[in-house]
Amino acid sequence: MTVVQQDSLERLFDEAVVEHAEPLWPLLSTVSPPFPVAKAMPYVWDYTKLRPFCERAARLVGTELAERRVFMLINPKLKAPHTTDTLYAGLQTILPGETARAHRHTPFALRFIIEGERGFTAVEGEKVMMQRGDLVLTPSWEWHDHGNEGDVPMIWLDGLDLPLWQVLPSNFTEHYAQARYPSDLLKTASNRRYPWAEMQPKLDAKPGAAVEERYHMRANGADISATIGASAYRIDKGAKTAPARETASAVFHAYEGSGRTQVGDITLHWKRGDTFAVPAWQTVVHENTGDERVYLFRFDDRPLMSALSALRADEGQHPNGFC
């Protein structure tokens, strides 16, 4: 006598898994949620705690062993190389006389200089000198190396779209045959260097007690890359920014001053030198709580979200929806 086994969803699922197939409908709200859900959390990296790590690494690890002597800033809710869901940040150190050897890679990179002088990044044959507050760009697949011709260590904030390339199978790095790629100083304003001396006057000239100014490519006025954009903020004493929420995530660095940032229901306290992460789709307010003007540097994934037609922004008044 043949026993007919009764069909069921459990049986269907079990048999489908054997063929490496799974039903979508039980997971639909997870893989395609009704509103943006970032995996990253708001977090502050205290520079006074991290800087000693940079000093110790400089003593313990030479550039021959560490091609890039960097401490990654890893979001507590994620794994390396994630600072936010789509952005990577790290603190890189190079000592006087050192060379971080030449290579090129698929990800776009930027450098925001935290301290030191007479350091340089040589990008595709152009030697770019660096000082505190400078934004220096390393476009995708351009040869670059770093050096320090000064008397003190150089420390800067790296920003890359590296998390994006963890899910795209075309990420790789190529090493140059020599430590240095041939380069010369440019006699005109560089498309790869944007000094703080240019940005601060723009911020100070804007009306209002809390303002933002975007960085634009000197050559064509576009965003600094196809995946990452950047801006700077001025927040006067006692002032705060208007509530804002967007589908872009961002990493901030406190160039001057101290304050706090409300990200959803989490309060981040920061001071000069600190770096903090703001995930996507959180209502954000920055406030100056100190005795001097605040200046913040920011890099974000606005260009990427815009290219994907996924950039949305509002004032955070609709908890789970779009305005």
Write the pLDDT tens digit of every residue in 2-50: 656 789 999 999 999 999 999 999 999 999 999 899 999 999 999 999 9
Q: What is the pLDDT of residues 66-87, one digit of tens each?
A: 678 999 999 999 999 999 999 9
- Provide the whole-model pTM: 0.94
| Nearest partner of 254 among 118, 133, 120, 147, judged by Cα | 133
Give 6's DSSP letter. P
Structure tokens at 136: 């220096």
The sign of the dihedral angle between the CA atoms of 122, 126, 130, 136 is: negative
List of domains in the chain:
43-314 (2.60.120.10)
Residues 177/99, Cβ–Cβ less than 8 Å: no
Are the CB atoms for 60 and 107 separated by under 8 Å? no
Mean pLDDT in the chain?
94
Cis peptide leading into 96, omega within 30 of 0? no
For 99-160, the DSSP string reads EEEEEEESS-EEEEEEE-EEEEEEETTEEEEEETT-EEEE-TT--EEEEE-SSS-EEEEEEE
d(CA 74, CA 216) in angstroms, rounded, equals 28
Give percent of the chain with pLDDT exceeding 70: 97
pLDDT of residue 1: 53
Q: How far apart are CA 75 and CA 48, in angstroms?
A: 18
